[in-house]
């Protein structure tokens, strides 16, 4: 099975990781190519980069198809990786992980319905997001 073909069920089987091994955030991508579109897509790219840097699995699901709200889920190997991820988010300065609602524990439904990013986002957006991930993974760039 290739890296892009798994689901949460493939990763976990029947077991459920403790809540502290999960985080999710909601991202709404505007339908037009406004500043908000680029800003939100860039934020998702940075989150994926932070996930790569902390050896964290990133999945997603469509939260609301009418507003193009996506739920991005992060699966951590251990609590230390989660802490490292949140420190990177804090250092980035775009959003504070301490602000209520920035990151939440995903519901069990969200976990089981999540898929790899390239199966959730439209092709053009997935290529941008995964391109950022590949660049950061291969070259360690920002």
Does residue 9 fall inside a structural domain?
no
Does residue 4 fall inside a structural domain?
no
What is the crossing angle of helices 79-92 and 35-53, to 10°?
Answer: 140
CA distance 122 to 127: 9
pLDDT tens per residue, range 87-138? 999 999 888 888 888 899 998 888 888 998 888 988 888 888 887 555 444 4
**CATH classification of the domain holding 112:** 3.30.70
Structural domain range at position 44: 19-139
Does residue 3 fall inside a structural domain?
no
CB neighbours of residue 6 within 10 Å:
15
Does residue 13 fall inside a structural domain?
no
The CA radius of gyration of the chain, in Å to the nearest whole number, is 14
pLDDT tens per residue, range 52-99? 999 999 999 998 878 889 999 999 988 999 999 999 999 998 888 888
What's the structural domain count of the chain?
1
Does residue 35 fall inside a structural domain?
yes
CA distance 100 to 107: 16
Does residue 59 fall inside a structural domain?
yes
**How far is CA 8 from each of CA 14, 45, 50, 108, rounded to the nearest angstrom?**
10, 21, 19, 10
Does residue 2 fall inside a structural domain?
no
Does residue 1 fall inside a structural domain?
no
């Amino acid at each position: 099975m290739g890296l892009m073909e798994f689901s949460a069920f493939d990763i976990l089987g029947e077991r459920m990781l403790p809540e502290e091994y999960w985080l999710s955030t909601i991202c709404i991508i505007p339908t037009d190519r406004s500043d908000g579109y680029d800003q939100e897509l860039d934020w998702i790219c940075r989150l994926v980069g932070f996930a790569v840097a902390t050896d964290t699995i990133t999945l997603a699901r469509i939260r609301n198809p009418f507003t193009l709200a996506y739920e991005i889920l992060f699966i951590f190997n251990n609590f230390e990786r989660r802490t490292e991820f949140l420190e990177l988010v804090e250092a980035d300065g775009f959003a504070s992980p301490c602000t209520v609602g920035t990151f939440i524990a995903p519901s069990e439904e969200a976990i089981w319905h999540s898929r790899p990013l390239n199966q959730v986002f439209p092709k053009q957006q997935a290529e941008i997001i995964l391109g950022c991930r590949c660049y950061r993974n291969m070259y360690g760039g920002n």
